[in-house]
Amino acid sequence: MADRYLHLTGTAPGRFLTRRLGLPQPAPLRRWTLETPHLDGPLLHLTAGASAVTGVAEALRTSGLTVTERADRPAAIVLDATGVATAAGLGDVHAALHPVVRSLAPGGRIVVLGTVPSPDDHHQAAAQQALEGFVRSLGKEIGRGSTVQLVRIPVARIPGGASAHAAGSTLRFLLSPRSAYVSGQVIELTSAAPDSGSGPTPITDPAAPLTGRTALVTGAARGIGAAVASVLARDGARVIALDVPGAREELESTADRLGATALPLDITAPDAADRIAAAAPDGLGVLVHNAGITRDRRLANMPADRWASVIEVNLDSVLRTTDELLKAGTITRGGRIVATASIAGIAGNTGQTNYAASKAGIIGLVRSLGPRAAAEHGVTVNAVAPGFIETKMTAAVPLFIREAGRRMNSLSQGGLPVDVAEAVAWFAQPDSTAVNGQVLRVCGQSLLGA
Ligand code: NAD
């Protein structure tokens, strides 16, 4: 379902009229294409006070942008605020960004680097937590399709200080058109290096970082799952696209288009994990739990079968297949599990007690299993939490609620399936080892659950 309002505000009379009426002004977002893989302009690297980490300049270079300490019209600004440890030090954040924020190009990126608030130093914790409020507010006011995020770099347990080395894949994603619909997010990197013990796995082919890995995507016949399969295939993975046997025709046509293998299978089948393992004899490098259903009713009107089917597809099958595939060693060391939550699992939603429970359950799963899966299997576990994404699922939403869903976020528009897929691909990167137990909202900084 096309966003006609976005089209209208892209015309001069439409812009004039909607401005006069005080209506939202969504800026068209620029997504990744082969021809335009990078933001259009330099990256301004600033530091608030003194940095507490090493390796920031090296990590920034992975973005492919020209890094500079002075620029008239930067496409991105990275503020290293890792050394801000007092309330007074927050003045350095203001002093660094206040003079340059207006010069950021439309569709620009601001990334603030912080560290984890300390449980032992409440002044440092206050200052570092303050960055979260700062980033979320700037994301709401910056406009023109620009985004703002906070990346927390862990404090080193090793002598020699913390390093931003492990932040490479995260900065590459956030400082690119791939993260067009991600804003107001806080990403906390871990210091553990599950797959090698010595830091992130290097990428041999930057254009196809997933070469040699097999990725299985559930619910891949259409919508977000088809976009995930497509982006993972673009990044070089061999893709197995799974969907219910009832969607076989659509699944096969999606798989054919992507050069993927179709696996018609209901993910709730008792032997689903065995069937997946049989389809991937060399193991899986990436497992994406995307299949999901809604069966909306208010709790008072919800029969047990509607409750049970949603919990079964969206949560129980994810828990079961994850456990079985990890136990069997089907997910190889250095592997990536990505599950699909929803902002409904964070904010709650009328008529969706079953759905929101299942999606909040995914968040619980990811946070609990992430550190253990890393320690025991060398596998990371993360989730995307999409907001309003333009798919068949949201096209079925009544018009008024659909319009509200589209506009109630900092970018004043819905996201596209590819926006979620790019976030999944970031989790799946071989050098995303330090990204674990995270839930990334892909919601344009939705007001729901903010
Ligand atoms: P969709 O309905 O277009 O696609 C879901 C796919 O999952 C379908 O192809 C369906 O056949 C498949 N599926 C359902 N049950 C299955 C099962 N038992 N076994 C295997 N496959 C099964 O939905 P979508 O909008 O693309 O959503 C994808 C995921 O993103 C879901 O988990 C959904 O909850 C989540 N999500 C979507 C939005 C959004 O705005 N569209 C927002 C938040 C979260």
220 and 241 Cβ atoms separated by less than 8 Å = yes
State the sign of the Cα–Cα–Cα–Cα dihedral 156, 158, 163, 165: negative
Q: Which single residue is written with the structure tokens 């999409």?
A: 386
CA 15–ligand 1 middle distance (angstroms): 35
Minimum CA distance residue for ligand 1 atom 12: 219
Q: Which single residue is written with the structure tokens 């906070």?
A: 150
Minimum CA distance residue for ligand 1 atom 34: 292
Nearest to 328 by CA among 273, 396, 375, 259: 273
What per-residue confidence (pLDDT) applies to 195? Answer: 47
Half-sphere exposure (Cβ direction) of 192: Cα atoms closer than 13 Å: 17
Domains of the chain: 1-29 (no CATH), 40-188 (3.40.50.720), 214-442 (3.40.50.720)
Exposed/middle/buried for 198, CB within 10 Å: 0-12, 13-18, 19+? exposed
Ligand 1, closest atom to CA 224? 26
CA 262–ligand 1 middle distance (angstroms): 17
CA 229–ligand 1 middle distance (angstroms): 13
Coil vs helix vs strand at 442 = strand
Minimum CA distance residue for ligand 1 atom 8: 219
Choice from 320, 391, 416 to test ligand 1 binding pocket (greatest atom count within 8 A of CB): 391
Ligand 1, closest atom to CA 340? 32
Choice from 389, 413, 420, 441 to test ligand 1 binding pocket (greatest atom count within 8 A of CB): 389
The catalytic residue among 5, 32, 134, 355 is 355
Q: At what angle do helices 417-428 and 223-234 cross, to 10 degrees?
A: 50
Nearest to 196 by CA among 381, 379, 327, 435: 379
CA 234, distance to chain mean position in Å, is 17
List, chain by chain if needed, residues with CB within 6 Å of any ligand 1 atom.
218-219, 221-225, 243-244, 247, 266-268, 290-293, 313, 340, 342, 386, 388-389, 391-394
Structure tokens at 381: 């576990």
Beta bridge partners of 386: 442
135-143 long-range CB contacts below 8 Å, 24 or more apart? Answer: 135/110, 135/184, 135/186, 136/184, 136/445, 136/450, 138/97, 138/101, 138/110, 139/183, 139/184, 139/410, 139/445, 140/184, 140/410, 140/445, 142/101, 142/104, 142/110, 142/410, 143/25, 143/27
What per-residue confidence (pLDDT) applies to 217? Answer: 99
CA 263–ligand 1 middle distance (angstroms): 16
In the residue annotation, 181 being an active-site residue is answered as no
CA 322–ligand 1 middle distance (angstroms): 18
Choice from 182, 224, 310, 363 to test ligand 1 binding pocket (greatest atom count within 8 A of CB): 224
What per-residue confidence (pLDDT) applies to 200? Answer: 56
77 and 108 Cβ atoms separated by less than 8 Å = yes
CA 286–ligand 1 middle distance (angstroms): 18
Residue numbers in the chain where pLDDT is lower than 70: 1, 156-162, 192-201
Ligand 1, closest atom to CA 317? 18
